[in-house]
């Protein structure tokens, strides 16, 4: 029982890190970026490549994945994404899904379609068990590690968004770009940085999640739906919304697959539709703004 | 001055058939005669064109973005296949049953798209399609699961025309159904009802303010579109004698969206044009690079949006000034 809960939380935390960048671009900047999963995949493949070919240790790969993918995100934002901000949602959907398709085919071409594995260091492979019977709690060390990393990230992100100067600039730029630029905020730079950090987080999530989620060229399409669920169900009030949604989704998915394996992912989709019919703007909406 | 009759005649004028249209349809029906070896392709194009037109009803005319239109296509396909297998092999009755049941499903699903933003609608439509995909996958005693539903034997169309190996009967059958439903859709979009749909698309709030019952209009058109998508799915299942999970897959929804966008939204022939271009491109590209078809389709999408959807189809405007930011 507790093990399922634990695995669900770890899975949810992982989804959160993968999706939080999308929560920012989609939720705050109102840009539907279906190619978000491609950034995550890039992080995952980068880690595999760095570890296997260059012998970089796993822990060093994580920041590497973040930085490289963030740079790539910044480059793409400047060249391709920025003209899309003002376009209708349909255009954004088509554009970003086109990018995702290209990423899938490109990885297939260069790396091959087989699943890639990450060799975890020794100290992350074990498993600790506490209690017994129905209260047995088995904690994989790697999942514990994920939970710790994600918890730290969540706190840091929340502090940046709510307490720093950059956070308030971002919120201003999102609420009304024209007024914000009138106040001397360089909206373009704020959006560029935000997009880069969001992509970087996706890359980090991809690196962390490659072990649990599996890594093959269809990754962006396979998990796109999960990211979108996290964001649309969570709403955009702050990052607590997506966090709650990610945890809910993670636990529901793991528990659903454990208790009623016949239903598979059915539970998750049904849950999403019901929540969205109940609260179309997501569980936590932003008061004011738009 | 502004008598109702002038508006009426404007609508009627728009609905009138142009001579070129007769030629297009005549050519379409002649194709299986002229190129018997390409009948299967003609059949396939007719089916996806019908599917694209049904999406156009909700996307192009009513402004509802959907990433899950394959839900109805796949539902129609499975219904037709199961009906032929379990009840009776007559294609026309099967088509009718599949259309009606898909429309009922559309009616039920329409409650999900009434509230919320574009994102919410994208998600619930996508969710509906995935839900059905999971169902079809898990109910393997009924649908055959991942192996697909095999052993569907179709009777002759109207009791007269057997399906042949080259797909000529199939092509004519699909074309005939497509023409029939095209006429229905044309009637709908050029009626006052269709005009209110466009009002909803252009400004939902204003449409509500001038007394258009937005909710019921959206429900009706979603139901009709679902029924027609179901008919397209049924045609596919009947002419190929097979239904598999791929009819419900996300790729289907994405492909049909793409076809419509290539051809032009808010124009019924746009779906046809898009389907022709898409299928020919797919045939050609997958012969050249079988594995990486997806890359080129992605590139096409990105270029399409970056250049501007309207401008790709109108190359003579490339040199002119750019007006605004798309539709």
Q: pLDDT tens, B240-249?
A: 888 888 888 8
| Nearest chain B CA: its distance from A98 CA (Å) | 4
Question: pLDDT at position A134, please?
Answer: 64
**Of A37, A23, A72, the residue nearest A213 (C-alpha):** A37
Closest residue to B116, CB basis, from A91, A102, A281: A281
Question: pLDDT at position B114, please?
Answer: 86
Do A229 and B123 make contact, defined as CB atoms within 8 angstroms?
A: yes
**Chain A residues touching residue B293 (CB < 8 angstroms):** 105
Question: pLDDT at position B99, please?
Answer: 95
Instruction: Say how far residue B84 (Cα) sits from the centre of its chain.
Output: 23
ipTM over 0.90: no
Do A106 and B295 make contact, defined as CB atoms within 8 angstroms?
A: yes
**Chain A residues touching residue B294 (CB < 8 angstroms):** 101-102, 104-105, 108
pLDDT digits (tens, 9 = 90+) for A13-56: 888 888 888 887 777 777 888 888 899 999 999 988 888 888 78
pTM of the model: 0.84
DSSP letter at B181 equals H
B115 touches chain A (CB under 8 A): yes
Do A98 and B306 make contact, defined as CB atoms within 8 angstroms?
A: no
CA distance B62 to A93: 18
Average pLDDT over residues B261-266: 82
Do B300 and A98 make contact, defined as CB atoms within 8 angstroms?
A: yes
Q: Which residue of A has its CA nearest to B139?
A: A262
pLDDT band at B285 (very low <50, low <70, confident <90, very high): confident
pLDDT-above-70 percentage for chain B? 91
Question: pLDDT at position B197, please?
Answer: 92
Closest residue to A232, CB basis, from B115, B123, B302: B123
Closest residue to A272, CB basis, from B59, B127, B294: B127
**Chain B residues touching residue A290 (CB < 8 angstroms):** none
| Nearest chain A CA: its distance from B195 CA (Å) | 22
B48 touches chain A (CB under 8 A): no
**Chain B residues touching residue A278 (CB < 8 angstroms):** none
B282 touches chain A (CB under 8 A): no
Residues 6+ apart with CB under 8 A from A125: A141, A142
Q: How many CB pairs under 8 A join A and B?
A: 134
**Chain B residues touching residue A99 (CB < 8 angstroms):** 298, 302
CA distance B257 to B270: 11
Better pLDDT: B309 or B222 = B222
Residues 6+ apart with CB under 8 A from B212: B196, B199, B200
| Nearest chain B CA: its distance from A30 CA (Å) | 9
Residues 6+ apart with CB under 8 A from B317: B310, B311
Asked if residue B260 has pLDDT above 60, the reply is yes
Question: pLDDT at position B309, please?
Answer: 66
B298 touches chain A (CB under 8 A): yes
CB A89 within 8 A of CB A26: no
Closest residue to B298, CB basis, from A101, A264, A273: A101
**Chain B residues touching residue A264 (CB < 8 angstroms):** 134, 137-138
B123 touches chain A (CB under 8 A): yes
Mean pLDDT of all residues belonging to chain A: 83
CA distance B278 to B201: 26
Question: pLDDT at position A286, please?
Answer: 58
Q: Which residue of A has its CA nearest to B326?
A: A87
Residues 6+ apart with CB under 8 A from B43: B167, B170, B171, B174, B239
pLDDT digits (tens, 9 = 90+) for B78-105: 999 999 888 888 888 999 999 999 999 9
Cα Rg of chain B (Å, integer):
20
Residues 6+ apart with CB under 8 A from B134: A263, A264, A265, A266, A269
Do B294 and A99 make contact, defined as CB atoms within 8 angstroms?
A: no
pLDDT digits (tens, 9 = 90+) for A93-148: 888 888 998 998 888 888 877 887 777 777 777 777 776 666 677 778 888 888 88
């Amino acid at each position: 029982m507790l093990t399922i809960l634990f695995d669900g939380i770890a899975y949810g935390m992982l989804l959160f890190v993968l999706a939080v960048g999308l929560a920012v671009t989609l939720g705050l900047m109102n840009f539907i970026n279906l190619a978000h999963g491609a950034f995550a995949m890039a992080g995952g493949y980068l880690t595999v490549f760095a570890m296997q070919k260059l012998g970089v240790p796993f822990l060093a790969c994580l920041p590497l994945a973040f930085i490289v993918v963030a740079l790539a995100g910044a480059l793409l934002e400047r060249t391709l994404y920025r003209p899309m901000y003002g376009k209708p949602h349909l255009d954004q959907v088509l554009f970003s899904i086109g990018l995702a398709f290209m990423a899938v085919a490109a990885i297939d071409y260069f790396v091959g379609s087989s699943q890639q594995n990450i060799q975890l260091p020794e100290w992350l492979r074990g498993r600790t068990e506490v209690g017994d019977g129905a209260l047995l709690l088995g904690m994989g060390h790697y999942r514990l590690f994920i939970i710790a990393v994600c918890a730290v990230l969540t706190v840091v992100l929340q502090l940046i968004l709510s307490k720093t100067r950059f956070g308030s600039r971002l919120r201003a730029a999102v609420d009304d770009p024209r007024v914000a630029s009138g106040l001397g905020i360089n909206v373009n730079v704020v959006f560029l940085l935000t997009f880069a950090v969001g992509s970087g987080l996706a890359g980090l999530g991809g690196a962390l999640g490659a072990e649990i989620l599996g890594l093959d060229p269809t990754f962006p399409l396979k998990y796109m739906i999960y990211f979108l669920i996290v964001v649309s169900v969570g709403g955009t009030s702050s990052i607590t919304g997506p966090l709650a949604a990610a945890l809910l989704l993670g636990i529901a998915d793991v528990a659903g697959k454990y208790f009623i394996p016949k239903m598979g992912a059915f539970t998750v989709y049904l849950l999403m539709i019901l929540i969205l019919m109940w609260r179309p703007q997501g569980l936590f909406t932003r008061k004011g703004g738009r | 001055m502004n008598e109702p009759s002038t508006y009426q005649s404007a609508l009627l004028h728009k609905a009138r058939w142009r001579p070129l249209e007769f030629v297009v349809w005549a050519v379409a029906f002649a194709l299986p005669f002229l190129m018997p070896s390409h009948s299967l392709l003609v059949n396939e194009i007719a089916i996806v064109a019908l599917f694209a037109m049904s999406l156009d009803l909700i996307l192009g005319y009513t402004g509802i973005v959907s990433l899950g239109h394959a839900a109805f296509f796949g539902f129609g396909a499975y219904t037709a296949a199961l009906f032929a297998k379990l009840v009776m092999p007559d294609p026309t009755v099967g088509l009718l049953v599949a259309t009606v049941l898909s429309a009922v499903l559309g009616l039920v699903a329409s409650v999900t798209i009434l509230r919320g933003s574009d994102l919410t609608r994208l998600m619930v439509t996508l969710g509906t399609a995935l839900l059905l995909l999971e169902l079809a996958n898990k109910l393997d005693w009924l649908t055959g699961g991942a192996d697909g539903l095999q052993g569907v034997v179709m009777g002759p169309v109207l009791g007269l025309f057997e399906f042949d190996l080259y797909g000529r009967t199939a092509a004519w059958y699909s074309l005939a159904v497509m023409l029939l439903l095209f006429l229905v859709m044309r009637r709908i979009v050029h009626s006052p009802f269709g005009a209110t749909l466009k009002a909803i698309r252009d400004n939902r709030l204003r449409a509500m303010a001038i007394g258009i019952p937005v909710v019921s209009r959206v429900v009706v058109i979603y139901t009709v579109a679902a029924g027609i998508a179901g008919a397209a799915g049924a045609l596919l299942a009947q002419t190929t004698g097979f239904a598999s999970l791929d009819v419900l897959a996300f790729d289907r929804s994405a492909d049909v969206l793409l076809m419509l966008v290539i051809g032009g939204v808010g124009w019924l022939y746009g779906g046809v044009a898009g389907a022709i271009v898409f299928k020919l491109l797919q045939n050609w590209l997958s012969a050249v690079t079988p594995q990486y078809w997806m890359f080129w389709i992605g590139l096409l999408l990105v270029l399409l949006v970056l250049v501007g959807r309207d401008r790709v189809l109108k190359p003579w405007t490339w040199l002119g000034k750019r007006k605004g930011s798309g539709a």
